[in-house]
Structure 1
Amino acid sequence: MSLGNHTFAPLIARLTLEQKVHLLTGDTAFTLPGNDTIGLAPLAFSDGPTGVRGLKFMGGDAVALFPNATLISGSWDDSVAEEVGRMLSEEAHRQGIHVVLGPTINLHRSPLGGRLFEAYSEDPYLTGRTAAAYVRGMQGNGTGACLKHLVANESETLRNFMDSRVTETALREVYLLPFEMAVQDAGAWSMMAAYNDVNGVAATEQDHIQNQIVKGEWCWDGLIMSDWFATKRTVESANGGLDLVMPGPAGPWGERLVAAVRRGDVAEATVDDHLARLLLLAERTGGLDRDGSGPRPFAPGMPAPDSELRKEQLRRIAARGMVVVKNDGDLLPLAGGLDGAGAVALIGRHAVATQDMGGGSAQVNPPYQSTVAEGLTARFGERVTVVDGVHVRRRPVPASPAFVTDPVTGEPGMRVTYLNAAGTEIASRHEGGTAITVGWDDDFSESPAAVVFTATLANDAGRVRLGGMGAGNWKIAADGGTELAAELGFSGFDPGEAVLRPPAFSEAVTLPAGAAVTARLDLIPVDWRAVLDAHPVVNVSDESHLLSMAGFGAVAFVAEPAGRTDDQAIDDAVAAAREAGTAVVVVGLTEEDETEASDKATLALPGLQDELVRRVAAAAERTVVVVNAATPVLMPWLDDVDAVLIAGLPGQEGGHAIAAALTGEAEPAGRLVTSYPAADGAAPAWNVTPAEDLGLDYNDGTAIGYRGWHAGAAPAPLFWFGHGLGYGAWEYGTARLAAPAAEGTAPVLDVELTNTSQRPSRETVQVYFAPDDDAQPVRLAGYAGVDVAPGETAIVRVACDPRLFRRWDEAANGWAPLTGGELVVARGLGDVKARVSLR
């Protein structure tokens, strides 16, 4: 679909070719240039999967930290996703942001994928339906949504260079379906092209996907932007359907694209179409002034990120998406609720340092982050004994602002001084956080050559770990005569490593109480052209946007108490569990494991967390395990414990949300959005590492996740997709077709459901379609949630989606209907409740 003859043609005609092309590359890291001649205001974009961070990649103003994507989709409730979209739009209005870069709607193909926490599910229908609701909420409030990442971007290893090899059938039926649903059902205004290649063609150059399918077959009028630094070639991307290159101001378009048009390699009408789509996005988001009245203002009076309204919303949404996967003897909610007697031993590093968000571009600077210790103590008071757990990290982390003080202002955080190559001060400022980016979103007139951190530690005399993150030469000096030095370089050949996974070091040293520390990093520029040329397989064009990343990087000061040994931590935990009787052990992953730019190698919990759970379970009368992770983990201790709650990455109210779920203040009525393998490798798709030729074969085809498990492609999972107990008990009655499905429509099913428990509860009725054709996998085709009072019966109507009753016919290059088969009513395919024939 071309917008060349769109109503914007008169505006476009006022511009020279150079002016047109200038508007098609970002002006800064997260903004676009404006143009007064046509009434175009500069547009502002922000990362947004778990909060609208603003225009700074690190630091910046405090913003609300939302529950992660799997907690939103885990509610299996369109109203929750739509509310999240509205809230994010309010956060965008408060900060002057036109477009939020989300939702992430890639699929959980392999449980090793590092970025799965940003995405909704292994199932394309649940993903697409959740995304459509999120987009309706956001765009209905005047903020543009951006569907990402188009397409087949399910892993992070070598993501800038790898080639996702996927059949046309799987592409159409599985990986494009969420994008199609968000376009057709919610009218998404923009998309983001991925880093990877797809079947040998860069995602940013995909004429087949971007032009033929998305803009052509779907008749979509929105804009496709590149992921940041993802554009690889000039002519091919401009002709392949990419509309906007991000970030700026450098990039592969600019003068190169002007020259390509002059040569006739790119038609000027193609540039006009790209610009028309950009102007339509600007108009939709209030950034285009046609009549001289000025751009549409952002809505005033939005809730503050730490307001009581935000706290209530974020706590409720997080608890709603949590999943009870085991609850023997109805141990949960915790006996006695808010008023009961009895002691609780709360154990684990994640109890005292709850992981509320993942890593990479999804990170934000929240006003606070709550812990499970805070949440449970607020409800049980002195009946809670809190015991720190074993170590859970392999890499150093930036110092907590609570552990360091700016010696100039006395505020929590650090003093950061930037020096040029001559050693002259460029700027000195307070930073509330202890991690910054250098060379990218700076506002300096010259590039820093060195960064100096100064701080006073909030430490008692004793052992402290000091260090740094970031490439270059480090020198650290502290009171007591401590001096450390390290030269850190990059381990790989991905320029993104400099920002998303910088090298790090730390050492344990003995310091006096309240020690003053100075850490200096002399930056070492990296010639990424030479690094990439040295790789035996990677072939990077001189036009590649990656090459403009020279000098970029994230740097941080590391300082934390050295802490106890793991053996001491386990002994203390066992003693507390034995004395209390009831133990709540909080285990999980960190942003090392759930992050952009890196995949996992195992689903095992890091460190000695499994041993901690085993030892505590052997000592306590009753043991609850809270899994503070968004993606599957192994549970070798499952038979030893009484209850397990999957808490995800629950956002700034996470500690209070987990406590509310544990005590029954809120029902964790979520259902799993991804199947949990029983062991490493026991999944239909596992490998995330490309072959030597950088290819990664999607050899599971359309049998992704539970579809493959159901077909016998892997041993039965530990927990099926869709599993979840909540706090109710349910009896399924008759399931019948509401009416015969007319041609071109999908079935509608009425399911009788009775709440047999003593408390009000919510159930999610899931309907799967099992085609007659053995080559066609079972697939989720519809679902509906219902709240039912104790002892009451409800008739739940589930309308199936017709897009799940078709198959892609590669020979005919078109869709063909799937008829016959049966509908399966289930609480996950491991717990089938009814079957209804469609034959």
Structure 2
Amino acid sequence: MWTLPAVPAIGLDSLVMSDGPIGVRGRRWTADDPSIALPSPTALAATWDPGLARRTGHLLAAEAHRKGVHVLLAPTVNLHRSPLGGRHFECYSEDPLLSGLIGAGYVAGVQEGGIATTVKHFVANDAETDRFTVDNRVEERTLRELYLRPFEIIVERAAPWGVMAAYNSVNGTTMSEHAALQNGVLRGEWGFDGFIVSDWMAARDTVGAIRGGLDVAMPGPRTVYGPALAAAVREGRVEEELVDAAVLRVLRVAARTGALTGTDPVVAPADRPPVVDAAGLAREVARRSLVLLTNRTVPGGPAGADRPALPLEPAALSRLAVSGVAARDARVLGGGSATVFPERVVSPLDGLRAALPEGTVLWTPGADPNEEPQVAGEGFALRAVCRDADGAELGGDRLPNGQVQWMGDFPEGVAPEHLATVEVTGTFTPRTSGAHGFGTRGLGGFRLEVAGEVLYDGVEQPGSDDAFEAFFGGPRERGTVELTKGEEVTVSLRYTVPPLEAMPFPVVGFALTHREPVRPAEELIAEAVEAARGADAAVVVVATTERVESEGFDRTSLELPGRQNDLVEAVAAVNPRTVVVVNAGSPVEMPWRDRVAAVLLGWFGGQEIGSALAEVLLGAEEPGGRLPTTWPARLTDAPVTGVVPTDGELHYGEGVFIGYRAWDRRPDGPAPAFPFGHGLGYTGWEYEELTVLDDTAIVRVRNTGDRPGRETVQLYAAPDDRGAGDTELPVRRLVGFATVTARPGETVQAVIDLDDRAFELWDAAAGGWRAPGTGWTLHAGRSVADLRLAAPARS
């Protein structure tokens, strides 16, 4: 599933691949083998710091070595074309330059640790609907200026050792067979010398794939290569030289990563970056990614003075009301192949309670974003037991939660061909009394028993054409049991394994699910209101769920699930110091944003989010993040929303106008809730001077506040003449950025390098880049909507 076979005769070890991008899962997809869980890619992009991305790469390389992995299946650099993209939490930005530079930092860091990356998904894999079959129709200029551009930047600046071909087609050709883009552009024009691996099960045709430039078809062992490729060569349908070239590229990545005897790895063990404090780096990325969207002045600060709502003053907090189920059970990562299993998670509630005196923080659930049962977690002690058809035990696994995910690699002693049933068995100690719901997730036969009572004995049939969605989705509640807080009960879920030989690879995936007793929503909200009414401040944590943001499907709405909006409105009505923390990987609607004291965007903040959040809320650190994508006030305001194909085709009819480029194009239309690049800090900045010297822009800024701070200086180029028709230029485009730090009153300079591409467009007729024949003005500022300085660009 995750490996290439060893060839001992030539000294080739088995090449091991593993999903990222926020951690290294390893060969086995199981919670019994924990991994560091960094913040989501949208969070990393929100730092606007390629150097920090590089440092995360160093950490991930160390993790890969620890787990015996040679190739990390990351980063994902597809663009946020529409806010409905279900997998946008795993991508960086709506802007190709920001995506490319963050991605280049990530790739450089991982490969400096001697581990290969595979930049994905090449190319135009920007939505999930019908992702296996959709034909994305993208005109050439749009493809070059937007969707290919992040890959080009990464190849140019970081020389990745691998690229992953996407599932989708582009302009009629499936990407795993797209010779024009893989051989012509990627290898021919850009000089990429690494290997191209298919997305899992994306390779469909032997001859088309090898001629299209695909080197590795995953997963094995039954693929379009192997015996099928050998037969195609023998029959004269494929030239042997094509196979030689693919073999050479696989051997090259093996040599680079130390998996080929007789060659030295590119990075010797002694030259790898030093191992860092993993939890500390995860916490640093989390706090640097936090975006302060609003921070209003509220009465009643120290000595009665009005002051911004954040940071909170720890000494002035005798009671802090915290509400939202997500405050206790934070969502720290997105769903799908990006999933890893951290050894620990610090929730917002954990972080605040650790930072404040005991008894200061009062938590109420308020509202639960989960409208379905969740994978069994807190209070469960579980083990998986594997048996053959005669009931004999073959082996098993300890399960830190109720999820079983074995893809290709199974527990020791368990041969897939002999596996008949898997039983998740153990105990549950409830945190609350009442009617607890229990259920299943996955496809196949189940028998569920809790406290001696059989709740379900039946078969769950497929309900989706997407095998990935069928594998991960569809929790079903099977019954309830009255339980008492603190009293342990037994649980058992027996799963009948379908015939594995009929599958392209052996896979077992299912889960025991659980739901705490349901209380009326109005009662929960009223309880939160009473807690907030007399508190010095209130923090409400709202979140999306895995059924809202995940791989395998797109979103249909930007609304927060459940009664979370009602909770915010009710708490804010009784406490003027209400701070809302948004636990989401991509945009959500916030109809209450102008009626709360502050809004802080926490993304999917990784395993240390609670500690980072406490540091920022209480003022030990400042929020360092800036939006890497535009947040609309309402879905209906967004310029581009189409993600559903028509007759198998999805037309990118908006051309180069996505994200802020599209919002700028319609000045009389609705404004976004928060523009691209937006983010507040805890100090003030004055932009003093912009100087342009040849290929460099220098921006002088001064910290005008009373505390140290970090500023993200953004540089945009605006054409004096935008042109029209096929050569119409955006009102402005991001051409560079830099982060600087300064003490109170200190003046510092941001130095931003420019390249020719910043002032060019793709000429499809000429087949190349050209200057559009207009002058340019450079604008420096804090966001695309807050530009402070201007100067003519070089001619």
* Distance in 2 (alpha carbons) for counterparts of 1:456 and 1:612: 34
Change (3 A) 1:614 1:89: same
Residues 500 and 507 of structure 2 are in contact (CA less than 8 Å); yes or no, is this contact kept in structure 1? no
Give how far 1:198 is off. Answer: 1.1
Which residue is equivalent to 1:493?
A: 465
What SS does structure 1 have at the residue aligned with 2:250? helix
What SS does structure 2 have at the residue aligned with 1:108? coil
Change (3 A) 1:824 1:301: closer
* Distance in 2 (alpha carbons) for counterparts of 1:508 and 1:299: 57
Give how far 1:502 is off. Answer: 4.7
What SS does structure 2 have at the residue aligned with 1:803? helix
* Distance in 2 (alpha carbons) for counterparts of 1:696 and 1:455: 48
* 1:72 equivalent among 44, 53, 58: 44
Which residue is equivalent to 2:402?
A: 434
Which residue is equivalent to 1:695?
A: 649
* Distance in 1 (alpha carbons) for counterparts of 2:655 and 2:435: 53
Q: Find out whether 1:806 has 2:760 as its counterpart.
A: yes
Which residue is equivalent to 1:204?
A: 176
* Distance in 1 (alpha carbons) for counterparts of 2:404 and 2:710: 44
Residues 417 and 452 of structure 1 are in contact (CA less than 8 Å); yes or no, is this contact kept in structure 2? yes
Give how far 1:220 is off. Answer: 1.3
* Per-residue deviation, residues 99-136 of structure 1 (Å, max 9, x unmatched): 11111111111111111111111100000001111111
Give how far 1:168 is off. Answer: 1.0
Change (3 A) 1:569 1:321: same
Q: Find out whether 1:754 has 2:728 as its counterpart.
A: no
Mapping of 1:69-148 within 5 angstroms? 69-148=41-120
Give how far 1:526 is off. Answer: 9.9
Give how far 1:707 is off. Answer: 0.6
Give how far 1:590 is off. Answer: 1.9
* Distance in 2 (alpha carbons) for counterparts of 1:186 and 1:634: 36
Residues 439 and 447 of structure 1 are in contact (CA less than 8 Å); yes or no, is this contact kept in structure 2? no
* Distance in 1 (alpha carbons) for counterparts of 2:159 and 2:267: 21
Which residue is equivalent to 1:252?
A: 224
* Per-residue deviation, residues 736-795 of structure 1 (Å, max 9, x unmatched): 32x2x3xxxxx4222231211111111111111122224111210011111111122223
* Distance in 2 (alpha carbons) for counterparts of 1:347 and 1:798: 43
Residues 163 and 694 of structure 1 are in contact (CA less than 8 Å); yes or no, is this contact kept in structure 2? yes
Residues 486 and 505 of structure 1 are in contact (CA less than 8 Å); yes or no, is this contact kept in structure 2? no
Give how far 1:602 is off. Answer: 0.7
* Distance in 2 (alpha carbons) for counterparts of 1:383 and 1:704: 46
Give how far 1:416 is off. Answer: 1.6
Which residue is equivalent to 2:551?
A: 596
* Per-residue deviation, residues 705-728 of structure 1 (Å, max 9, x unmatched): 111111118632111110011111
* Per-residue deviation, residues 315-351 of structure 1 (Å, max 9, x unmatched): 11110111101011253533324x4443211111111
Mapping of 1:381-780 within 5 angstroms? 381=357, 382-400=359-377, 402-405=378-381, 414-438=382-406, 440-442=408-410, 444-445=414-415, 446-459=417-430, 462-479=434-451, 481-502=453-474, 504-511=476-483, 513-524=487-498, 548=504, 552-691=507-646, 693-712=647-666, 715-737=670-692, 739=693, 741=694, 747-771=695-719, 772-774=721-723, 775-777=728-730, 778-780=732-734
Once the two structures are overlaid, the 10-residue window that deviates more, 130-139 or 387-396, is 387-396
Change (3 A) 1:165 1:294: closer
Residues 578 and 621 of structure 1 are in contact (CA less than 8 Å); yes or no, is this contact kept in structure 2? no
* Distance in 1 (alpha carbons) for counterparts of 2:274 and 2:751: 36
Give how far 1:35 is off. Answer: 1.4
Give how far 1:503 is off. Answer: 5.2
Q: Find out whether 1:816 has 2:770 as its counterpart.
A: yes
Residues 52 and 64 of structure 1 are in contact (CA less than 8 Å); yes or no, is this contact kept in structure 2? yes
* Distance in 2 (alpha carbons) for counterparts of 1:736 and 1:483: 71
Once the two structures are overlaid, the 10-residue window that deviates more, 779-788 or 497-506, is 497-506
* 2:332 equivalent among 356, 372, 387: 356
* Distance in 2 (alpha carbons) for counterparts of 1:751 and 1:135: 28
Once the two structures are overlaid, the 10-residue window that deviates more, 391-400 or 124-133, is 391-400
* Distance in 2 (alpha carbons) for counterparts of 1:301 and 1:836: 43
* Distance in 1 (alpha carbons) for counterparts of 2:758 and 2:747: 29
Change (3 A) 1:636 1:296: closer
Residues 473 and 485 of structure 1 are in contact (CA less than 8 Å); yes or no, is this contact kept in structure 2? yes
What SS does structure 1 have at the residue aligned with 2:374? coil
* Distance in 2 (alpha carbons) for counterparts of 1:676 and 1:663: 26
Give how far 1:190 is off. Answer: 0.4
* Distance in 2 (alpha carbons) for counterparts of 1:458 and 1:301: 45
* Distance in 1 (alpha carbons) for counterparts of 2:500 and 2:568: 44
Residues 480 and 511 of structure 1 are in contact (CA less than 8 Å); yes or no, is this contact kept in structure 2? no
* Residue type of the alignment partner of 2:461: G
Q: TM-score, normalised by structure 2?
A: 0.93
* Distance in 2 (alpha carbons) for counterparts of 1:705 and 1:591: 24
What SS does structure 1 have at the residue aligned with 2:375? coil
Change (3 A) 1:303 1:610: farther
Q: Find out whether 1:174 has 2:146 as its counterpart.
A: yes
Change (3 A) 1:574 1:210: same
Once the two structures are overlaid, the 10-residue window that deviates more, 498-507 or 788-797, is 498-507
* Per-residue deviation, residues 548-577 of structure 1 (Å, max 9, x unmatched): 26x634201113422433222101110011
* Distance in 2 (alpha carbons) for counterparts of 1:228 and 1:245: 8
Change (3 A) 1:33 1:526: closer
Give how far 1:299 is off. Answer: 7.1
Give how far 1:296 is off. Answer: 8.7
What SS does structure 1 have at the residue aligned with 2:146? helix
* Distance in 2 (alpha carbons) for counterparts of 1:626 and 1:461: 29
* Residue type of the alignment partner of 1:776: L
Which residue is equivalent to 2:304?
A: none
Residues 373 and 477 of structure 2 are in contact (CA less than 8 Å); yes or no, is this contact kept in structure 1? yes
Change (3 A) 1:568 1:189: same
Change (3 A) 1:429 1:94: closer
Which residue is equivalent to 2:301?
A: none
Change (3 A) 1:421 1:162: farther
* Per-residue deviation, residues 485-506 of structure 1 (Å, max 9, x unmatched): 3431121212222333255334
Once the two structures are overlaid, the 10-residue window that deviates more, 652-661 or 556-565, is 556-565
* Distance in 1 (alpha carbons) for counterparts of 2:271 and 2:390: 45
Residues 121 and 674 of structure 1 are in contact (CA less than 8 Å); yes or no, is this contact kept in structure 2? yes
Change (3 A) 1:425 1:300: farther
Give how far 1:200 is off. Answer: 1.4
Residues 76 and 90 of structure 2 are in contact (CA less than 8 Å); yes or no, is this contact kept in structure 1? yes
* Residue type of the alignment partner of 2:615: A
* Distance in 1 (alpha carbons) for counterparts of 2:500 and 2:645: 25
Q: TM-score, normalised by structure 1?
A: 0.88
* Per-residue deviation, residues 287-330 of structure 1 (Å, max 9, x unmatched): 11126x999986799999xx9x2222111111011110101125
Residues 783 and 800 of structure 1 are in contact (CA less than 8 Å); yes or no, is this contact kept in structure 2? no
The runs of 5 or more residues in structure 2 that have no matched partner are: 298-306
What SS does structure 2 have at the residue aligned with 1:360? coil
What SS does structure 2 have at the residue aligned with 1:127? helix
Which residue is equivalent to 1:345?
A: 321
* Distance in 2 (alpha carbons) for counterparts of 1:497 and 1:421: 28
Mapping of 1:817-832 within 5 angstroms? 817-818=771-772, 819-832=774-787
Which residue is equivalent to 2:300?
A: none
Residues 29 and 406 of structure 2 are in contact (CA less than 8 Å); yes or no, is this contact kept in structure 1? no
Residues 464 and 470 of structure 2 are in contact (CA less than 8 Å); yes or no, is this contact kept in structure 1? no
Which residue is equivalent to 1:793?
A: 747
